[in-house]
Amino acid sequence: MSGEIRIGVAGWSYPDWRGVVYPRGCRDELGWVARYVDFVELNTTFYRVPTVDAVESWVERSAASSLPFTAKLPREVSHERRVEPALVDAFARALDPLIAARRLEALLAQFNFRFQADRAALDHLGIVARAFGDLAPLVVELRHASWRDAIGDVRALGFSVANLDYPMRDDGFDGGRGSCGPLGYFRIHGRNRAAWYTKGAGRDAVYDYEYSPSERDELLDRVRAIAGGDCGTVFVVANNHFRGNAVKLALELKAASSGERVGVPDPLLAAHPSLGAIARGTLF
């Protein structure tokens, strides 16, 4: 493998993590999760541009581990196809504390299945690249099969293409199952097919999935394939967040990819005793 592997989670502020990932009464959830993962993908930036004060707080609370971050671009950019100068400026100002601390590793443009490969879509990606490309390396998540033959065009615009694990249909796309750019990025959404394709299913239901040991080994093979390509660093994002399953998966992948024991939060170990096999201070 040539690429460095970093394994993290998408977000950290989930009520259902309390008592499972975080001990009851935990006052600094970001500071807590920063002890255990290699980075955090900011998903709150998809829903709203954060305040500078909020971002400064994230930088300070994770300073002990110098935790790196990646961040989603706002949904106006991906789902509404609007790249307005005021939004771009506000987003850049908000993330400046992370940029100044050299802890913003990538920006992710997450598109849904309806975003299909055509001239207008490629033109939009070009606009996104010009607007945000100076802030951090760019990654794009694409889900429609029409992108299979357009990866070269996407990469030429300056994007790395995310690998995906999710309940893909025949007309879906998972990023090509290998290295697709200078930055490796693998987003693991879970395989809850029933909820994924049920209209009105809530966020918790869609991402309620615990990977089996054999499925985890499949994911590890994909991580190694990405790392063996032309990318320098591979960011692996566990997004099957419900009830702390993302943290469980992240720690399992960290242990498996490094061959070393890892720190495991006591509440998570109590909820998943199988993690005792990889936790520091326990016997295999």
pLDDT tens for 149-182 read 999 999 999 999 999 999 999 999 999 877 788 9
Cα separation, 268 vs 15, in Å, equals 14
Percentage of the chain lying above the pLDDT 90 cut: 87
CATH topology of domain 4-259: TIM Barrel (3.20.20)
Q: From first to last of its 284 residues, what are the pLDDT tens digits of the chain?
A: 567 999 999 999 999 999 999 999 999 999 999 999 999 999 999 999 999 999 999 999 999 999 999 999 999 999 999 999 999 999 999 999 999 999 999 999 999 999 999 999 999 999 999 999 999 999 999 999 999 999 999 999 999 999 999 999 999 999 987 778 899 999 999 999 998 888 888 888 889 999 999 999 999 999 999 998 778 899 999 999 999 999 999 999 999 999 999 999 999 999 999 999 999 965 43
- Distance (Å, whole) CA 277 – CA 94: 41
Give the SS3 label for residue 226.
Answer: helix
Angle between helices 245-258 and 213-227 (to 10 degrees): 60
pLDDT of residue 197: 87
pTM attached to this predicted model: 0.95
Cβ count near 100 (within 10 Å): 11
Instruction: Please report, for residues 120, 217, 269, the alpha-carbon distance to residue 212 in angstroms, rounded to integers and kept in the order given.
Output: 40, 9, 17
Instruction: Decide: helix, strand or coil at residue 161.
Output: strand
Domain boundaries, the chain: 4-259
Is the CA virtual torsion 208, 213, 217, 218 positive or negative?
Answer: negative
Token pair listed for 178: 């290998």
Instruction: Let me know: does 242 contact 207? Beta carbons within 8 Å.
Output: yes
